[in-house]
Each structure stands twice: as structure tokens, then as C-alpha cells.
Structure 1
């Protein structure tokens, strides 16, 4: 037999919550196969079995908080482990029957009980870890708790509301579910239901949490990209030959952001209780779109890296994100985030903060527009709208606007980035 333990997750993560069991007792497990999904404050992690065999026992339930190094399941080595117990019981049954025939019915009843218990995990009500914990503490049956969640997921507030209702209220819970399931479907208006992935659920929760806790505000400006585009055009071939990576826009924006953050350090800070934590390092998160949702890997020590190193790191991170090969260390500790909706054609947007960060810069598509050069002259210029969302609790409007103006000035005169 082998214990399945919670592995080392990351330096700052010491515990997680059992989000979902992927294998149930009696299921065959291959070595390296995922058996359980843990939810941490950073990302969701699937834990593998180091032993091939049969999952004999789940030591923790969905919703339980577990510590790093703690055993959460037991795997019985070898094939057919799940069926070995019944076989042994059958062999011993005749011997016991000869001694005491009257004990046989009791033994048969005892054998049936584990089989019934094994079906329970698959019948679990979908509920958040907090809801499961509260329900256990209050002795509440989650199957009796009604919820307004469109996916049927029971939340903590649903359990709170259920506890405060009169005793007659539980009768309404079971009746409401069949009514929803039996709702007639108009064949002329087909629909498709798809369960949200755990990552999408986590993203949704964090975005809502940020909007509920931060005093978020967005300021806008526009950048004339003429100088950057001319520089890229002149240097892109030589840059690629020297560094084996293409010169993109992200390295210019990352450099500009780092210089501006040095001048306006509150945008590189976070709130911890009643304290402001100013970070004297620059780990810049770069949002990457994947099939499973938006993810933000972090480029470490961006202030110490060249254009080529920044471009290389960004390309590598984006590839790892799309191949689902990012580790927890790749996603932790960002101090500021850059997101580029322009690659999808977005002209303008208000990006949402990537908590606990207090600033995020949104890039957008480049459009040629007529621009007034002076009172008499106009020219067509490649223009980009940029947006800075910030937490107004610690960042004032003057500082936010000045930060964005600084980024604009640096990009419209990219030689300053080299001097900076």
C-alpha cells in the first residue's frame, strides 16, 4: 500500500482545499495518473498517484483543508486490488459457515454496506469548500439546501440562508430541482450546457472578489506608435539574427512600465491590512490567453533584463501557458500586470486588476488615424489607446494619470528606454 500525500506546492503555499476527487474508492489507478484536484489561493493543482493499483480509501473529503505533506488517500498496489477483498471473503465464508451458520446473513449484510457507501461520493452535491465546511459544522444536509447559482453550486451564503429559514423550508429544496430539470426545451431554440472548468471558476471568483474589494478606477491615454514602429522596422532583422527572437511591442511596454513604476512606486505596491507594501523589485505579469482562460505568468526581474531577454521570456511563458506546462512558481509574486487586448482587435477596454496588485496596463490595437501635428498640419499616424486601471485606495488620480503620461512619453521617444 502507498499513501498519496500533498506535495510541495510552492514556497508561499502551505495548504489547499480538496476541490474534486477524480478517482473513487475501487477505481483502478495507473502510476502518474491524476486522482484528486486541489484548490489553492493561486491555482488549481492535480495530484498524481506514485503507485499503480486500486484506490482503497479517501482520507479526506471534498472541501477539507489539507496541509503540504499530509496523506489524503491510500492506493493498494497491484491489479485487481479492489476485487481481492470480496474473493477472500468468499473463500473464508464456508469455513465460518461450518462453525456458525447463523452468522452468514450478518456477514452478507456487512459486505453490501461498503458497496453502497462507495456510490456516495459520485452523488455529492456540487458545493464550494466553504459551504461544505459550514454544512458539516452546522449538521446541515447539502442536498436540502436550495441555491440560485445557475450551475447548481451551493455557496456559503446559501447554507447561511438555509440555516435561518423556518423548519418547513427544507421541503422546498428537493422540489425545486426537478422543476428546473423538467423545464421544457423549445426545439426551435436549442441550447448547450457546459460545466465551467475549475480554472474558469477560479478566474471568475477572483475577478468578482477584486471588484468587490478594490476601489477600481481606469484612466486612458493614447500613444503615437510611429517611433517604435520605425525602430522595429529598422532593427527587427538584425535583432532576430543576434538573439534568435523577434522584436515585439511587449519588450518596449515592459521597459516603459518599469521606468514609470520607479517614478511612481505606489503602482508597484499592494495593501496588507492597514499597511502599504511598496515592492522594490519589478516582476511583471504578462496576460496570456489560452483555451482554458486568461492566465498571467510573471517575468522576473524585468528591470535587469535586456530587450532580447524580455522577448525571450515572454515567448517562453506564452508557449508554456498554451501547453499547460506552467508551474506555480511561474504565476506567483507579480507586482504589476500588462494585458494586450489589441492582438484580438480591441480598440478600448477597462482591464480588471490582478489582485493583490493595484495596477494593470491595457494595450489595444494600433489604428491609423489623422492626428493634428500643429494648428495647420495633420498626418495619419499609428495610434494606440492605452488604459490604466488602478486601486484608488492607495493610488490617487494624479499619480495614475502621471504614470500613464510617463509611459506615453517613453514610447513616443523610445531612445529614452535605452537611457532609462
Structure 2
């Protein structure tokens, strides 16, 4: 049985070249050039090299990634009691909340692998990573640096605490090499020491999500017999690339993360 395959007829008209489409964002109006001294006294200071590079990457990520931010709270009352008890018992490295947060993030990433992934250069394929390298944003005199802690799934809370202390000290004193800031699969930006209730962190491309945390606050909760219980709530702000992650995914991920933070045994496991 033969099958006739239709063949497109060749046009006698010459091919028309279509103009190339401008790159996304290239048609924006130019930045306004203003002589601010016309309005009063000014002082001009050059941005650091790190600040200039960070500005370029942040602008690119904000313009090209469709950002959405999901907000939730995690009950860390029991976790904080455990952390303080361990510090009081004497540990070689003082334990902050961040190592526990890293371990909880790894657990959430293991439950929802699409958050531990990246779009490839074509934008048509999603690359799932089998490793858990977590970036941690650090405020330094050079500007914002993001050291990457590797294989966080294989390290204990105490190992992560010691590594965090060493790398953040180096970042603030000497700066970091590109190798120490490369290869991350997910980033955490913590503003807890500064305050705030929520914010929208910018996704660190080519990652697909970033977690922001602000200062924990005491909040009332209805207990047994309608009694009021005060619990320590940690605000979570999860920004994500909406091309890869949808709202339901983000809500599930954040709920899983909050559940892990509420259970100290699960975080330390």
C-alpha cells in the first residue's frame, strides 16, 4: 500500500528576509542622564567591582525571569529551644539558625526535585541536579557575595556551621573566588539579623528558586481548650521562576520546608 506524501510547491517569488527581532529589553528607553548638582549639593562615589557585576546580573535576572514570591511562616519554637540548648551545652562552633535552615531546604528539595533544577540554554529542557549545593547570600564590604556550600545533604548541622563560619569570614575579610561562588543549585538569603517581615529575593539564575527569611516573631496560636499559645514564627519568602514552578508547587514546597523546621529531629537527621 503506497501513501502519497504532499510536497509543498516551490514559490516563484524571491524569499523575503525578515528583520531580526530585538533582544528582550533592548528596546527600553535609555537611562535618564541628570545633572543632580542643579538641585543641590551632591557627592559621587564609584560602585565597587562586585556591586557593578551584581547590578548587571540582578537586572538580567529580574528582566528575563518571570518572578512570583510565595510567603509562609514556619513554627521554629522547638527548633530554637534545641539550638539554644546545644549552644549552652558547649559546641566548638556556635550554632545559628542557618545550618538548620540549609538542612531543611535540602529535605524540601529532595521532596520536590523541580526546585533543584535549571533550564538549559535552549529554554526547552529542565536539568535535574542530583547534588545539593546551597548558596548563602553574605553582606560584605565588597558588596553582596554568595558562597556555595557543597554536598549539604552529606554534612551534619555542626559541619555546616563550621563551614559557614569559615566561608563567611573569608568573604567579609578577603572576598571569594568565582569557584567558591559557582555551582549552586538553590540559594538562601537571610535578613533575620536585620529585621523585616517579608521581601522578594531575586532568583539567582540559572537556579529556579531562592528562599528569603526575615526575623522570627512571636505569634499567638489557639491551643487546647481554646487557650492562647505563643509560638516563634519564621517568615519564609520563596521567589521562583514561573516558567518552571507554579503556585501550587511553591505552596507545597514551602509547607514541606515549614514542616521540617517545626520538627527538630527531622532537620538533624
Report deviation, 1:148. Answer: 4.5
Matches within 5 A, 1:154-233: 185-186=38-39, 189-233=40-84
Question: Does 1:369 pair with 2:219?
Answer: yes
Across the aligned residues of Structure 1 and Structure 2, the Cα RMSD in angstroms comes to 1.9
Residue of structure 2 in register with 1:54 after alignment? none
Distance change in 2, residues 1:395/1:237 (3 Å): same
Residue of structure 1 in register with 2:117 after alignment? 269
* Partner SS for 2:102: helix
Q: Which has the larger radius of gyration?
A: 1
Residue of structure 1 in register with 2:103 after alignment? 255
Report deviation, 1:232. Answer: 1.3
Q: Distance in 2 between matches of 1:409 and 1:287?
A: 24
Q: Distance in 1 between matches of 2:50 and 2:175?
A: 14
Q: Distance in 1 between matches of 2:127 and 2:215?
A: 33
Q: Distance in 2 between matches of 1:329 and 1:282?
A: 16
- Contact conserved, 2:71 with 2:198, CA < 8 A, in 1? no
* Partner SS for 1:415: helix
Number of residues of Structure 1 aligned to a counterpart in Structure 2: 239
Deviations 1:117-163 (A, max 9, x none): xxxxxxxxxxxxxxxxxxxxxxxxxxxxxx9446x7xxxxxxxxxxx
TM-score by length of 1: 0.54
Residue of structure 2 in register with 1:297 after alignment? 147
- Contact conserved, 1:239 with 1:247, CA < 8 A, in 2? no
Residue of structure 2 in register with 1:164 after alignment? none
Report deviation, 1:198. Answer: 2.2
Q: Distance in 1 between matches of 2:89 and 2:93?
A: 10
* Partner SS for 2:226: coil
Report deviation, 1:388. Answer: 0.7
TM-score by length of 2: 0.83
Question: Does 1:381 pair with 2:225?
Answer: no
Q: Name structure 2 gaps, 5 residues minimum.
A: 1-28
Distance change in 2, residues 1:414/1:302 (3 Å): same
Which of 378, 385, 390 is the aligned partner of 2:240? 390
Q: Name structure 1 gaps, 5 residues minimum.
A: 1-146, 153-179
Matches within 5 A, 1:14-413: 148-149=30-31, 185-186=38-39, 189-240=40-91, 244-272=92-120, 273=122, 274-373=124-223, 376-413=226-263
Q: Distance in 1 between matches of 2:157 and 2:37?
A: 59
Question: Does 1:414 pair with 2:259?
Answer: no
Q: Distance in 2 between matches of 1:199 and 1:230?
A: 38
Deviations 1:269-294 (A, max 9, x none): 00011111000000000110012221
Report deviation, 1:375. Answer: 7.1
- Using CA pairs below 8 Å that are at least 6 residues apart, which structure has the higher relative contact order? 2
Normalized per residue, which structure has more helix? 1
- Contact conserved, 2:147 with 2:181, CA < 8 A, in 1? yes
- Contact conserved, 1:285 with 1:334, CA < 8 A, in 2? yes
